[in-house]
Structure 1
């Protein structure tokens, strides 16, 4: 990969926690001649003003070489959704509780940013989910959940893989998650966590009415 020239920056909602790391990123960007792009929300959140190597109030664009995230898994998933289907990689610094989706921890940012802005990294491609509905086809980066109708009793569902029926279950719904989304609703639902790089999905049932149906 060639060196990154324009980079989007996304952060979580606690700017006081990311201020020091953001300054490290700005210093490294200036050193490498990279322009950091901040959308209107990020500009307001951090009180940014125009300056060398920084574009403030810029609309989110896919015409960048990299997206740097300072936040937890929720913020990282927002970035992954924004750049799903593009060649823009997401480099994330963990400021959350779990950090399953993060690239580095805050104490690793000096070397991490130097490598990231120079595009000195391996890109890991994540699987996504496609959902066909009457309204059209939708793409999910993390998970899809199906629930019984409000006011209805338990749902009866059959499920399969590759067109072959696997089983039948009575439950209140189900969650289908990618590795990136397996730490969210799926984990809270009792499902297992899938490691990055696993080419597969996890299905967990919501309140299954069965002694054998498990994630």
Structure 2
């Protein structure tokens, strides 16, 4: 018996997803499966996907498909955080790290998943509380300076032990998934998503110590805004979700295995080499 009875869709807000949706609907019709989507997303496309609210789609879907890029995949993962539902990412445009296939591979991949011919790559999330609201990120949580308002002065305390104070443009707390995003641009290490770790990276640090920290997933890390700091934006997977002022603090904890990403063949290292254009030194060839 096939695995997929109901497919949930999450769409990129701007990219053209009509071809991908039509492919999914044709495949589902041949299998007697149902396709669900969020009303505000499938409503802008002429298709027969059933519009339901987010809670119903999360509850009913056997497979969730994110159509877009890494941003759409991150949104899909946050939507399903804590649930075992597998998530398939489909590229609509630029190559990403999280999306697994292109549109022309979609029908074949759905059949493979339906026949249980796939693997799962668990992805860790991180969590914090901002202004009384719980926030979940699969890439990173960053304290970012406000232009014209001074540097980000932040003390970093892992597992209750004060370690370092940074003066920087931003202090980034990232997952292994996020090691190829903002953290990477700030000089952080590339970390396999199979490693459940918390990275702390300062962007453009104005200090003699500018190294990244790699912490185990069972250690929380507290960031405190120093008296010398300006007002800082709290970015959660790239979206500003609040602000902190001197004296405020934020504690980040890991959530291992918070989402399950479908893999049908590619490896993290293949994706990283293509996306980051990793070639190495010319002298090594």
TM-score normalized with structure 1 length: 0.82
Structure 1 residues 156 and 121: alpha-carbon distance in aligned structure 2, compared to 1, 3 A threshold: same
Inter-partner Cα distance in structure 2 for 1:171 and 1:14:
34
Structure 2 residue aligned with 1:25: 24
The correspondence for 1:189, drawn from 186, 191, 197, is 186
Q: Higher RCO, 1 or 2 (CA under 8 Å, sep at least 6)?
A: 2
Report runs of 4+ in structure 1 exceeding 4 Å deviation: 148-152
Stretches of structure 1 lacking an aligned partner (at least 5 in a row): none
Are the aligned partners of 1:84 and 1:141 in contact in 2 as well (CA < 8 Å)?
Answer: no
Alignment of 1:71 with 2:68, yes or no, is: yes
Alignment of 1:170 with 2:167, yes or no, is: yes
Inter-partner Cα distance in structure 2 for 1:114 and 1:161:
45
Alignment: residue pair count: 209
Alignment of 1:112 with 2:106, yes or no, is: no
Higher strand share: 2
The Cα offsets for residues 70-105 of structure 1, whole Å up to 9 and x where unpaired, read as: 210011111011111112221111224241011223
Are the aligned partners of 1:69 and 1:76 in contact in 2 as well (CA < 8 Å)?
Answer: yes
Structure 1 residues 196 and 107: alpha-carbon distance in aligned structure 2, compared to 1, 3 A threshold: farther
Are the aligned partners of 1:10 and 1:70 in contact in 2 as well (CA < 8 Å)?
Answer: yes
Are the aligned partners of 1:32 and 1:117 in contact in 2 as well (CA < 8 Å)?
Answer: no
The correspondence for 2:92, drawn from 92, 95, 98, is 95
1:13 aligned counterpart, secondary structure: coil
Alignment of 1:154 with 2:148, yes or no, is: no
1:194 aligned counterpart, secondary structure: coil
Superposed displacement of residue 157, structure 1: 2.9
Superposed displacement of residue 159, structure 1: 2.0
1:123 aligned counterpart, secondary structure: strand
Structure 1 residues 23 and 118: alpha-carbon distance in aligned structure 2, compared to 1, 3 A threshold: farther
Structure 2 residue aligned with 1:9: 9
The Cα offsets for residues 25-73 of structure 1, whole Å up to 9 and x where unpaired, read as: 222212222101022122223222x4xxx42x22222112111112100
Inter-partner Cα distance in structure 2 for 1:22 and 1:149:
40
Superposed displacement of residue 9, structure 1: 1.0
Structure 2 residue aligned with 1:59: 53
Structure 1 residues 182 and 176: alpha-carbon distance in aligned structure 2, compared to 1, 3 A threshold: same
Are the aligned partners of 2:125 and 2:175 in contact in 1 as well (CA < 8 Å)?
Answer: yes
Inter-partner Cα distance in structure 2 for 1:12 and 1:134:
28
Inter-partner Cα distance in structure 2 for 1:95 and 1:179:
24
Alignment of 1:201 with 2:198, yes or no, is: yes
